Chain A
């Protein structure tokens, strides 16, 4: 969303204008650090920033249970179709909170910047981050900036930590899946991973796949408002649906059976995966969630999800079974079965 903004000449006060790229002094804690925060980060964050610039943010929180999560973002390239590392840094932590059923309230932002990174790029990232925070309705209350030598880092790394509140009666956790439960996904899978891969060196696809990065706590609120016992919520980010379902199967001791033909895989994602030899189930998502719910309430929950824009493509993709405990198995389109495995590490495109 920030990719259209023009940041040429954007950093106007003298010290920043004189150094169009990050230098070690920006991380030194002195005047240049202060200028970077006051002239770049805070204006870019806009209304989402609530920083008194003390050593700690002092926050008023409602009574009840807090959810607390942190995540670091090292995505390359830092801008991709549909978003940037800034959007991800907000939505990633917001979604981690949402998957505990929490309403996200506050975020911290910590940047590790490589010497030589263009300030205009950092400005674009920070603006995207601020906008995403505004959209998600969270406040950016504290932060940090460090600079590492050129060659020690890769442009921009962002860490966010977040705090949210969990309403009474909400109990969500990966160990709560039970035999007989339905497995639901909120929409098309594999989109974010293919969007990022599509702009890596040497890979160009005929069609543009746009990242699905989005904050999911609004959708989760709609789901919880039904009063249905949502047992498990997870956002299938790195490792994709395959990794997340394997984690749920292992934590709860159930087997999970997917029906391959019910998986929502967009044609562009299927094409790209076919070309690269990847399994769409193992490709990353950023704006999707998986839910495990009692089967007899699944249709009711799906109806609620369909009323929310981020859940309009929600569907049932499988169920929890007593057979093959702790493993995920897919029924193939032809009627065979196969194990759906955890990816080992980075997905590697095949040779032919």
Chain B
């Protein structure tokens, strides 16, 4: 795409990298909040181009990674019920619950379908009036408006056999939780551009002020990310801590007002558990009382499912930026994309998967018995 190619121009990238080097006089640790940014940084090798000491800490912004185990177990319990068509975005299918994933349910005869829009799930409900159609509504502020719109449409069209399993999470409370952690090393944030394109930027100046950190709204293409880093370094070096919008071509300060109105109608803020991090107050959405009929958790009576995480997996520390993926003892050994212990390894945007997929050369011992070929088969 020409539009995107322009944002990966190597000459412009080199100029931005040179500027970052020229501006940097001391080590800085900044967190990119969004998993899409993590993926882009590692895929394009952007972290390899930064000055020594400028460290990118990978944040909790992969919606698949932070969906709690118990919600996945609830999804599995619903999907295996007879008469249910369980719809999900593709990358949730391989995320392990307690020993199983949605692929396993599908393989055992469950009707699990990959859809590309929640409205496809609503269409399936309309076409299958004798079945219960459930959509797995996960994600940040980016995916929530479409899910809200689907529930709104279901109510408007009188489609009673549709429901939503909701696990939406919000970015600003997560930033606050990270900054309040006693082990926090983060000195600045690259905020997730897509989230801000929906919600606007007004939630961020108070965070920048309260925690004394620069926050730069940043896009996802290589030049976007380098520009975000450049602006962040300039603020850090000058001792400033403000909100800046480096993604103005997509993010208006007020965000997307109709989407916000739809969210206010259908959802209400609730406490949410983040996989690997734990409960963060007021960090998610649930269906509002007006739409409680469409809540799959109550419709299928799975509200009391509770589960435990793998003891080996340190994805929680990865999600909080406390360790890098390869610093986990299980990385590339017990835990690989083929046999993931935690969601950060299975989601394509998870930090562990990005390191394993693109940086295995540096971080996994390459000696292996000949013939197997696969690092993960050791």
Q: Which residues of A contact B (CB under 8 A)?
A: 201-203, 250, 261, 267, 270-271, 274, 276-277, 324, 326-327, 329, 332-339, 341, 344-345, 347-352
CB contacts (< 8 Å) of A344 on chain B: these are 94, 337-338
Name B43's closest neighbour in chain A (CB-CB): A338
Q: How distant is B168 from chain A, measured CB to nearest CB, in Å?
A: 12
Choose from A202, A267, A277 the contact partner of B1 (Cβ within 8 Å).
A267
Q: Establish whether residues B1 and A336, one from each chain, have CB atoms under 8 Å apart when the complex forms.
A: no
Decide yes or no whether B63 CB sits under 8 A from chain A. yes
Interface string of B1-25 (1 = CB under 8 A from A): 1101000101001100000000000
Choose from B8, B63, B91, B338 the contact partner of A348 (Cβ within 8 Å).
B91
Q: Establish whether residues B348 and A203, one from each chain, have CB atoms under 8 Å apart when the complex forms.
A: no
Choose from B1, B140, B338, B357 the contact partner of A274 (Cβ within 8 Å).
B1
The CA of A250 and the CA of B372, in the complex, are separated in Å by 9
CB contacts (< 8 Å) of A345 on chain B: these are 94
Name B2's closest neighbour in chain A (CB-CB): A267
Q: Establish whether residues B373 and A339, one from each chain, have CB atoms under 8 Å apart when the complex forms.
A: no
Q: Which residues of B contact A (CB under 8 A)?
A: 1-2, 4, 8, 10, 13-14, 36, 42-46, 48-49, 63-64, 89-94, 114-117, 120, 138-140, 142-143, 194, 222, 337-338, 347-349, 357-361, 366, 373
Choose from A261, A335, A341 the contact partner of B45 (Cβ within 8 Å).
A335
The CA of A329 and the CA of B43, in the complex, are separated in Å by 11
CB contacts (< 8 Å) of A250 on chain B: these are 373
CB contacts (< 8 Å) of A336 on chain B: these are 44-46, 48-49
CB contacts (< 8 Å) of B366 on chain A: these are 324, 327
Q: Establish whether residues A202 and B116, one from each chain, have CB atoms under 8 Å apart when the complex forms.
A: yes
Instruction: Count A-B pairs with CB separation below 8 Å.
Output: 111
Q: Establish whether residues A351 and B49, one from each chain, have CB atoms under 8 Å apart when the complex forms.
A: no
CB contacts (< 8 Å) of B13 on chain A: these are 333-334
Most buried by B among A250, A276, A336, A337: A336
Q: A250-B373, A327-B361 are in contact. Are A352 and B338 (CB under 8 A)?
A: no
The CA of A327 and the CA of B360, in the complex, are separated in Å by 10
Q: Establish whether residues B143 and A326, one from each chain, have CB atoms under 8 Å apart when the complex forms.
A: no
The CA of A332 and the CA of B366, in the complex, are separated in Å by 21
Q: Establish whether residues A339 and B361, one from each chain, have CB atoms under 8 Å apart when the complex forms.
A: yes
Q: Establish whether residues B4 and A274, one from each chain, have CB atoms under 8 Å apart when the complex forms.
A: yes
Q: Establish whether residues B90 and A349, one from each chain, have CB atoms under 8 Å apart when the complex forms.
A: yes
Q: Establish whether residues A351 and B10, one from each chain, have CB atoms under 8 Å apart when the complex forms.
A: no
The CA of A277 and the CA of B120, in the complex, are separated in Å by 19
CB contacts (< 8 Å) of B4 on chain A: these are 270, 274
Q: Establish whether residues A351 and B361, one from each chain, have CB atoms under 8 Å apart when the complex forms.
A: no
The CA of A336 and the CA of B49, in the complex, are separated in Å by 7
CB contacts (< 8 Å) of B116 on chain A: these are 201-203, 276, 349
Q: How distant is A74 from chain B, measured CB to nearest CB, in Å?
A: 16
The CA of A267 and the CA of B4, in the complex, are separated in Å by 10
Q: A270-B4, A336-B48 are in contact. Are A351 and B138 (CB under 8 A)?
A: yes
Name B63's closest neighbour in chain A (CB-CB): A351
CB contacts (< 8 Å) of A339 on chain B: these are 357-361
CB contacts (< 8 Å) of B64 on chain A: these are 350-351
CB contacts (< 8 Å) of A267 on chain B: these are 1-2
6 tightest CB-CB pairs across the interface, nearest first? Answer: A336-B45, A348-B90, A338-B358, A202-B120, A250-B373, A349-B90
Q: How distant is B341 from chain A, measured CB to nearest CB, in Å?
A: 15
Q: Establish whether residues A332 and B93, one from each chain, have CB atoms under 8 Å apart when the complex forms.
A: no
Q: Establish whether residues B10 and A335, one from each chain, have CB atoms under 8 Å apart when the complex forms.
A: yes
Name B34's closest neighbour in chain A (CB-CB): A352
Q: Establish whether residues B89 and A338, one from each chain, have CB atoms under 8 Å apart when the complex forms.
A: no
Name A348's closest neighbour in chain B (CB-CB): B90
The CA of A270 and the CA of B2, in the complex, are separated in Å by 10
Q: Establish whether residues A348 and B114, one from each chain, have CB atoms under 8 Å apart when the complex forms.
A: yes
Q: How distant is A328 from chain B, measured CB to nearest CB, in Å?
A: 10
CB contacts (< 8 Å) of A348 on chain B: these are 90-91, 93-94, 114, 348
The CA of A61 and the CA of B94, in the complex, are separated in Å by 48
CB contacts (< 8 Å) of A324 on chain B: these are 361, 366
CB contacts (< 8 Å) of B48 on chain A: these are 336-337
Q: Establish whether residues A335 and B338, one from each chain, have CB atoms under 8 Å apart when the complex forms.
A: no
Q: Establish whether residues A335 and B49, one from each chain, have CB atoms under 8 Å apart when the complex forms.
A: yes
The CA of A274 and the CA of B8, in the complex, are separated in Å by 13
Q: A327-B366, A349-B114, A352-B142 are in contact. Are A341 and B357 (CB under 8 A)?
A: yes
Q: Establish whether residues A350 and B91, one from each chain, have CB atoms under 8 Å apart when the complex forms.
A: yes
Beyond A334-B49, A339-B357, A351-B64: 10 further Cβ-contacts under 8 Å?
A201-B115, A276-B116, A334-B8, A344-B94, A345-B94, A348-B90, A350-B349, A351-B89, A352-B140, A352-B142
Q: How distant is A314 from chain B, measured CB to nearest CB, in Å?
A: 22
The CA of A258 and the CA of B130, in the complex, are separated in Å by 52
Q: A201-B120, A277-B348 are in contact. Are A337 and B92 (CB under 8 A)?
A: no
CB contacts (< 8 Å) of B138 on chain A: these are 351
5 interchain pairs, CB-CB under 8 A: A274-B1, A332-B43, A336-B45, A338-B45, A348-B114
The CA of A332 and the CA of B221, in the complex, are separated in Å by 13
Choose from B44, B120, B348, B349 the contact partner of A332 (Cβ within 8 Å).
B44
